[in-house]
Amino acid sequence: MDHKVTLHDKTFKLFIPNEKIEKAIDAVAERLNADYADATDEDPLVLLCTLNGAIIFAAELLKRLSFPIVLKACKLSSYQGTQSTGSIKTEVPLPAHLEGRRVIIVEDIVDTGNTIEALTGLLKAAKVRDCKVCTLLVKPEVYKKDVKLDYVAMEIPNRFIVGFGLDYDELGRNIKDIYVLDE
Ligand code: IMP
Ligand code: MG
């Protein structure tokens, strides 16, 4: 197995192997299955996948969820290279008809929280009935916002990572393990 990868001008080393990621997703899915057992075909949970980073996490979650659920997506962006820019752009707007629905935001990673704060604000304005956050990763040393992170699969230190959907300037999403910037 190759333990280092180079993307653009940077080298990354193996950080979280796929098996460990999948186990963490199993645990989150188990909690969701318990918490949303009351969802029905008439009132399914809306899983809102944040493009592009959360695609793989959302797919792995979906495979494990056993209650009525519909898949939607939107895209906000704040990152350039390895830095959060603080200004949020809406690249794919929220889906229509969210009023009165229960929504779970599926994120790849919460860093400064600028993105999740903006997105929960948009969902509130769309008059959803309930909005929860499910993220594969969080960097607790950096996250200082008030938005509650209801379902967190894994916590990591303040390092820049790629793989399992996460990118460095669009490369690295297809790596099945998570790699960290080798500094
Ligand atoms: P925030 O708005 O600062 O919380 O940043 C959230 C978004 O930035 C995530 O959804 C990712 O797309 C991206 N991001 C944050 N940290 C990383 C990282 O370590 N690697 C790759 N992308 C990241
Ligand atoms: Mg993202």
pLDDT digits (tens, 9 = 90+) for 52-90: 999 999 999 999 999 999 999 999 987 677 777 778 889
What pLDDT is stored for residue 79 in this prediction?
Answer: 67
Burial of 116: CB neighbours in 10 Å, binned 0-12, 13-18, 19+: buried
What pLDDT is stored for residue 24 in this prediction?
Answer: 98
For the Cβ of 52 lying below 6 angstroms from any atom of ligand 1, the answer is: no
Residues of the chain with pLDDT under 70: 1-2, 79
What pLDDT is stored for residue 2 in this prediction?
Answer: 63
For the Cβ of 78 lying below 6 angstroms from any atom of ligand 1, the answer is: yes
For the Cβ of 113 lying below 6 angstroms from any atom of ligand 1, the answer is: yes
CA–CA dist 36, 27 (Å, integer):
14
For residue 137, give the ligand nearest its CA.
1
What pLDDT is stored for residue 86 in this prediction?
Answer: 74
What pLDDT is stored for residue 83 in this prediction?
Answer: 77
- pTM given for the model: 0.96
What pLDDT is stored for residue 182 in this prediction?
Answer: 96
Question: Ligand 1: which residue has its CA nearest to atom 20?
Answer: 161
Neighbour tally for 4: CB within 10 Å: 10
Return the bridge partners of 138, or none: 110, 155
Q: Which of 180, 158, 108, 162 is nearest to 137 (CA)?
A: 108
What pLDDT is stored for residue 78 in this prediction?
Answer: 79
